[in-house]
Each structure stands twice: as C-alpha cells, then as structure tokens.
C-alpha cells in the first residue's frame, strides 16, 4: 500500500469506535477482548499494528459497531509518521474514541490526538490499561476527568474483570446522533401524499437498477405512508395530464433540472435527489452561502470536486464531465478541476481551491460529510453540492431550494 497517498474507503452508517494510544499499550488486546476473538495481532514487538484494522461486532445496548485498531500515536521514523497520519485520518470517521494510557501519565502524543478529537467533535473514554502493573492513581484520575471532562476507567487487558463496566462507559459516551434516524423528506410530506420521482435512465445509470439516492428516497416515501410514483423524464408530463394528480412534491435528477422545471407547474414544489441529500447529510447553510459564489469564479481558478465513492467513469459522468462543462459555460471562464474520490487525501492545500463541489454523499454518513468539508469551511472556501450547483447554473436554484427554505424559515 502506498502510504503517501492512502486510499480510505467510505464507512458504513454503523457507529465507529476508534482505539488510540501509544505503542504496546494493549490497543489490539482491547479489540480482541471486545470482539471475543483474535481480531488484531498481539505482539511485544513495537509497531505491529500499521494500517488501521476494522472489525464489526455487536455491543449490547448499542447494536452493531465497527472497532478500529490504529497504530501507536508515538510511532517514530518516516514510516511511523505516516502511520500516525493514517490514525489521525481515522478520527474524522469515528463516532467515539477509546484512548489508552498507563503508568498514570500522559504526554504530548495524547494531547495532540485529543486536539483532533476536539476538532472533529469526537467524545472519548480514557482507559488506564495494564493496571495490574501500575494501578490507577485516584488523584491522577480526578485531574484528568476535571481537565478534559471525559470519564476514565481502570482496566487490565490480561484479566478483564470489569468488561461490563467498560461497555457501560462506552454506551454512556455514544453521541445522540447514533440513535437518531433523521429522514430524507422529513416534514416535507404527509401521510397519503403523492411524490413524483423523475429518474432518467441514461448511459450513466447502473444496469438493471436505480441509483442509491433514488432507492433511499422511495423507501423514505413509503416509511411516511405516502405514495411514490416513478417515471422517466419523457413520461412525467404525460402522467400529470392523464391522471390529473397534483403531487405534493416532485423530485428530479439534478442533470435535468431545467427540463423538469418546464414540465412541472410552478404551484408544485420541485427539488432534486442531490439537494435532499445535501440537507440530510451536509452543512446545508454552508451550501446555501457557497453556491452563489459560482458566479464569482475567475479565469484559472481551481475547483475541487469531491466524490464520496469510486465508480466507473463514463462520457456522461456528472462530476468529472458534465459539471466542468456546465461550469465553464456558465462562468465563461476556463477553470481548472481536480476530482478526489472516496475519502482520499487532497492533492494540495485546501486554500488553493476557489470552490468545493461535493456530491450527494449517498455512500457516507453525515459526520463524514461534515468533517470532509470542515477544512474548506474553516478556511472560508465556498462549498456547494452537485444538485445545488446544477440548479444554480440552470437558473432554477431558488425554486429547487424553496421547499427547504419554507420549512426552516
């Protein structure tokens, strides 16, 4: 594996728990205890764990989780620095962290990783491991809990007599967002409403199935006890005329916003699948502020296009082909474009970009989406979303975001 440009795959929606600590503090042993099997290699040799190791398990009271074993946060040398870098990247993906310490001491390594926990809103639990060698000092424990506002537990991986207490503490710091299950459509529709979905089937569409955002939207409509009507773009107008049905909402693919806006009467709310995902998963207010900045792009500006997954690229690829073409035509400028897939590292500093365009993000969680865009937002770089950018460039932006503005105003 190339550690200079590591490939980080999108995570599932399952809660992720990261295990962090210095080399040979028992991180792999903790993983094995929690999973009840030899998931991670345990060795006295420093640096046994290199790349993060993931293991799915079930925790009573929480359900399925992904445990992530990481390299030592005090790893040394050029390779060690790259391992630490991988561990820091994992912080952006996890929901909580377990931070192992021993000998009643913490140093710069722990303080540095805690800084990343704070930056990305990750609650953590101190685990004072190897307490059979050095028991946890009460004053030290009181100091840590007072200064960092995070609980601490004494543990011995060789004789894990208080495993249930450890699981209880893990449950106690799990964020509320793990339990909440927001919906795509939320308050936009009511029981019995008809929702019309316009889904083009072109060369970019997957063979024999719909794309994930369309499937997720259909499921959400059914969960609301509403009616989903799915048509291709050529059948939408015919459906409205023949049935005289007035949908409560029409959702279209971003690539045909303009065509759909001409077909659907102004009295019927219209938006896009990607905009639904933008509100559901992304920093929607930042998108609202950033989208109009497309008009301010200058000749030679670099636009970063973020895809949340890897896929076969076709001549009609919306992010790599259509988006640049539309943006060049709309701005009248010759812009430069860089595409980053999955959760791979950026090829240059975020401040080099004039605009960031994020895909719908159907393959990642809200936490990943927000953390992915956080450096750009913090640096004052405008961010937008595929659907919102397309709607803006096609002149239907205000109409496409109106259903959400009405509900939030």
Where exactly are the structural domains of the chain? 16-179, 186-276, 283-393
- Are 150 and 123 in contact by the 8 Å Cβ rule? The answer is yes
- Are 197 and 174 in contact by the 8 Å Cβ rule? The answer is no
pLDDT at 9 over 50: no
**Where residue 181 falls among pLDDT bands split at 50, 70, 90?**
low
| pTM of the full structure | 0.71
Q: What is the DSSP letter of 97?
A: E
Three-state secondary-structure class, residue 51: coil
- The domain 186-276 is placed in CATH, from the list 3.40.50.300, 3.30.70.1050, 3.40.50.11420, 3.90.1260.10, at 3.40.50.11420
Whole-angstrom Cα distance, residue 27 to residue 33?
Answer: 10
Beta strands at 63-69 and 53-59: parallel, antiparallel or unpaired: antiparallel
Provide CATH code, domain 283-393.
Answer: 3.40.50.11410
**Where residue 35 falls among pLDDT bands split at 50, 70, 90?**
confident
- Are 95 and 122 in contact by the 8 Å Cβ rule? The answer is yes
- Selection from 354, 376, 349 nearest residue 297 by Cα: 354
What is the pLDDT at residue 87? Answer: 85
Who's near 234: CB < 8 A, 6+ residues apart? none
What is the pLDDT at residue 32? Answer: 84
Fold classification of 16-179 (topology level): Rossmann fold (3.40.50)
Segment 114-127 mean pLDDT: 94
- Are 249 and 187 in contact by the 8 Å Cβ rule? The answer is no
- Are 101 and 124 in contact by the 8 Å Cβ rule? The answer is no
What is the pLDDT at residue 45? Answer: 45
Q: What share of the chain has pLDDT > 70, as a percent?
A: 88
pLDDT tens per residue across span 354-403? 999 998 887 777 878 888 899 999 999 999 999 999 999 999 999 999 99
Segment 57-65 mean pLDDT: 81
Same fold yes or no, 186-276 and 283-393: yes
């Amino acid at each position: 594996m190339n550690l200079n440009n590591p490939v980080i795959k999108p995570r599932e929606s399952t809660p992720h728990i990261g295990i962090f600590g210095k080399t040979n503090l028992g991180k792999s042993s903790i993983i094995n205890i929690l999973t009840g099997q030899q998931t991670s290699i345990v060795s006295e040799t420093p640096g046994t764990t290199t790349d993060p190791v993931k293991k799915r398990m079930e925790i009573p009271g929480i359900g399925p989780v992904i445990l992530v074993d990481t390299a030592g946060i005090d790893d040394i040398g050029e390779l060690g620095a790259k391992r630490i870098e991988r561990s820091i990247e994992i912080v952006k993906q996890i929901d909580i962290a377990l931070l192992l310490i021993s000998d009643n001491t913490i140093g710069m390594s722990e303080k540095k990783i805690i800084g990343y926990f704070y930056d990305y809103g990750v609650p953590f639990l101190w685990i004072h491991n190897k307490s059979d060698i050095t028991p946890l000092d009460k004053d030290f424990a009181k100091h840590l809990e007072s200064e960092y506002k995070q609980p601490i537990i004494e543990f011995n991986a060789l004789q894990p007599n208080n495993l249930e207490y450890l699981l209880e503490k893990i449950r106690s710091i799990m964020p509320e967002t793990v339990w909440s299950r927001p919906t795509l459509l939320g308050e936009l529709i009511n029981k019995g409403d008809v929702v019309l979905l316009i889904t083009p089937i072109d060369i970019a569409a997957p063979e024999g199935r719909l794309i994930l955002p369309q499937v997720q939207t259909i499921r959400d409509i059914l969960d609301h006890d509403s009616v989903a009507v799915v048509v291709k773009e050529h059948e939408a107008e015919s459906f409205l005329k023949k049935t005289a049905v007035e949908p409560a909402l029409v959702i279209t693919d971003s690539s045909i916003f303009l065509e759909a806006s001409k077909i659907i009467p102004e009295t019927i709310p219209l938006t896009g699948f990607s905009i639904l995902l933008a509100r559901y998963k992304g920093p929607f207010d930042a998108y609202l502020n950033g989208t109009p900045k497309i008009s301010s792009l200058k000749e030679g500006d670099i636009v970063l296009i973020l895809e949340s997954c890897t896929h076969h690229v076709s001549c009609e690829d919306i992010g790599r082909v259509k988006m640049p073409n539309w943006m060049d035509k709309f701005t009248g400028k010759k812009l430069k474009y860089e595409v980053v897939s999955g959760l791979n590292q950026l090829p240059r500093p975020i401040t080099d970009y004039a605009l960031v365009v994020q895909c719908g993000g159907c393959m990642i969680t809200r936490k990943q989406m927000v953390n992915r865009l956080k450096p750009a937002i913090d640096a004052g770089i405008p961010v937008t979303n595929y659907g919102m950018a397309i709607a803006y460039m096609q002149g239907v932006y205000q109409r496409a975001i109106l259903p959400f503005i009405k509900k939030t105003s």
